[in-house]
Structure 1
Amino acid sequence: MHYTAFMSLISQSTLQRWIENVADRAHPVVSAFEPYVDGLDDLPADGRFLLVGNHTQAGTEALLIPYLVRRQIGIRVRPLADRRFGNITGLAGDVFAAAGAVVGSRDTARELMQAGEPILVFPGGGREISKAKDQLYELMWKGRTGFARLAAENDYPIIPVALVGGDDVYHVLTSSDGRWARMTKPLAARLTGDSNMAIPLMRGIGPTLIPRPQRTYLRFGAPIDTTRPKRAVAEKWVETVQMRVKTELEADLAALLEVRSTDPYRQLAPWARGSAVAP
């Protein structure tokens, strides 16, 4: 059956239910890898918060965070996606929308906040996925304050979400200031529109691009109040909120990297599973 004819037989809500049913049955698979998860029990039950996280090479955070939050509070998370991904059409676009993701425009984010929905954003965008070996777990926000401005305008609490493990699935061979980076920046700019992005050389298991097995470490921070004090200048307050979120997220990343360094199960070795570090 042609895709268009098939989609005419099902509604967006039906597709959403299918996706949620798959997610509800994914717990045994997720548990098999025993991710380290801290702070999940402290999430506000009403779902009125903005999750701000870091992107990694693996990209698993985009799926794992919404999965864990929905499982904890029973509310679907609405990820804000880059326009390049949000405008995808066909089956991928319909699954994208049914999963709750929306294009990250100000108007859309404002509507979600007015409705009190949980939202997920990665201020670094795709730039944080394509990293050099000297940039692993670095927040590449480049002064981006849009998420902080919207949260402050709507008195929306922000919850930092740090994830470690995703930047270790590949061994990156090139640095951000090396010859390879300088050579590939023009091509990366044409492909992504970002003149600061290079295409790193990397390998997974052995000389292949098969990802290396790595345990995931995730920490949900305490909610950050974004309500602007009466005497605070609006733009200064936005910068203050952005810096506080960035500082707390960086601190959580550093703490998780320390946890990871002492964990015998960090490479998912079956014989070390019984000794896996727990929160």
Structure 2
Amino acid sequence: MAAASHTTVNGHGAPPQGWDDVPRPGEADDEGTASGPFGFGSSLLTRAAKAVASQVQRRVPRADLDERDPDYIRETLPRLWLLSSLYFRGEVRGLGNIPDEGPVLLVGNHSGGNMTPDTTVFSLAFHAYFGVERRFHQLAHNLVLNWPGLGFLRRYGTVAASPENAKAALDAGAAVLVYPGGDREVHRPSWQANTIDFGDRTGYVRLAVEAGVPIVPVVAIGGQETALFLTQGETLAKLLRLDKALRLKVLPISLAVPWGLNVGDVLGHVPLPSKIVVEVLPPIDPREEFGDDPDVDEVHEHVTRLMQDTLDALASERRLPVIG
């Protein structure tokens, strides 16, 4: 998020993302890709930083699944189509691998900094293929849902990232999109663009096992070519104690339009028109393939290996960065 009618802060529009870091009640979710404001010396950003700090300390709100508005999605799909199909020349393969009905956990890799074009492209394809009436929810940091101007994400089905909210959406029969790589993966350096980086975040596997739903991997390429990503800024975040003050573990640095040197990507950026390709893989039933009591690490390794093999294949098809 991170699915919205255009690219937005946090991959769905970001998403979810690091299930081992999703907060329990009273804790903060530090995995979202919406970085806090760090425009040093700016009174506006200083006030924004205080607001961010306040939100970080808040409990992750319980999802109101009824905020999703199919009529609103239907009305805004033309704008989504313009961005996805014309600007990013989006191509989505394998949508038929997603079960036609019932709950499913869609597990994606995350790219593009706080602007997440892969989510935009996939969201359009999902709604066009299955129709806007099918329940589809995306998980995002609670900061994203409280960020000025991004309230419309709730109407697209975006809910605050927590195991409880994800379970509630699955129990309601929804397709739920998660990004286990979170802020670390979405800000990875450009030379690591073709790497699946979930780290040791395996909570999505436990969620699928406990909910009894299949895992459907969603692999995307092109998002990390929309800017020049230099560093995730984990060391810088620690030096500035952002991990303590705001529970933000990264302070990414990139070269992006229109800012030039872009620190934090808090205000987003204008993504380059990179060609985005998304491939959906066949569903994985953890219990059917790994036994009644599947080993979480074994399932995680299997999922990430399949996704990495697919990403390698997609990378071999590309001729030039951005051009595709």
TM-score range, shorter chain: 0.7 to 0.9
CA RMSD of the aligned region, Å? 3.1
Shift of 1:90: 6.1
Determine the structure 2 residue equivalent to 1:140: 197
- What's the offset of the Cα at 1:221? 0.7
SS of equivalent residue, structure 2 residue 286: coil
8 Å Cα contact 2:225-2:322 kept in structure 1 = no
Map of 1:246 onto structure 2: 304
Larger RCO: Structure 1 or Structure 2 (Cα < 8 Å, ≥ 6 residues apart)?
Answer: 2
State yes or no: 1:45 paired with 2:100.
yes
CA apart distance, 1:185: 4.5
Contact 2:195 2:311 in 1 (8 A): no
**Residue deviations 1:159-188 (CA, integer Å, cap 9, x gap):** 11111111011123x457xxx874564235
How big is the shift at 1:201? Answer: 3.6
Structure 2 residue corresponding to 1:220, chosen from 280, 283, 306:
280
Aligned residue identity for 1:224: I
Residue 21 (structure 1) aligns with: 75
Is 2:258 the counterpart of 1:199?
no
Partner of 1:4: none
Task: Give the letter aligned to residue 153 of structure 1.
Answer: E
**Do the aligned residues in 2 keep the contact of 1:132 with 1:200 (CA within 8 Å)?**
no
Given that 1:78 and 1:117 are in contact with CA atoms closer than 8 Å, whether structure 2 keeps it comes out as yes
Number of corresponding residues: 246
Query: What fraction of aligned residue pairs are identical, expressed as a percent?
Result: 24
The Cα offsets for residues 74-117 of structure 1, whole Å up to 9 and x where unpaired, read as 1242001123324x166523x12111011121222112222221
| Further displaced range: 200-209 or 34-43 | 200-209
Which structure 1 segments of 5+ residues have no match?
1-11, 269-275
Per-residue deviation, 1:191: 7.2
| 1:14/1:32 CA distance change after superposition, 3 Å | same
State how far apart, in whole Å, the 2-side matches of 1:215 and 1:28 are. Answer: 14
> Once the 2 structures are TM-superposed, how far is the Cα of residue 67 of structure 1 from its aligned partner?
2.0
Ranges of 4+ aligned residues in structure 1 off by more than 6 Å: none
Q: For 1:92 and 1:213, locate their aligned partners in 2 and report how far apart those are by CA, in whole Å.
A: 22
- Please say if 1:36 is aligned against 2:91: yes
Q: List alignment gaps of at least 5 residues for structure 2.
A: 1-65, 262-268
Q: How far apart are residue 42 of structure 1 and its match?
A: 3.2
Matches within 5 A, 1:255-274: 255-261=313-319, 267-268=322-323
* Contact 2:92–2:125 (Cα < 8 Å) also in 1: no
CA distance in 1, matches of 2:148, 2:138: 19
Q: Distance in 1 between matches of 2:147 and 2:255?
A: 30
Tell me, yes or no, if structure 1 residue 118 matches structure 2 residue 175. Answer: yes
2:187 to 130, 144, 160: 130
TM-score computed with the length of structure 2 as normaliser? 0.65
Name the aligned partner's letter for residue 277 of structure 2: Y
Structure 1 residues 20 and 192 mapped into 2: Cα distance closer, same or farther (>3 Å)? Answer: farther
Which of 122, 125, 150 is 1:68 aligned to? 125
Which protein shows a greater Rg? 1
From 150, 170, 173, the counterpart of 2:227: 170
Query: Corresponding residue for 1:85?
Result: 144
What is the CA distance between 1:13 and its match in structure 2? 6.2
Q: How far apart in 2 are the matches of 1:161 and 1:35?
A: 14
Structure with higher helix content: 1
Distance apart, 1:210 and its partner CA? 4.8
SS of match in other structure, 1:249: helix
Q: How many Å separate the matches in 2 of 1:148 and 1:219?
A: 20
Shifted more, 20-29 versus 109-118: the winner is 20-29
Q: What secondary structure sits across from 1:67 in the alignment?
A: helix
Check 1:41–1:154 CA distance in 2 against 1; reply closer, same or farther (3 A cut): same
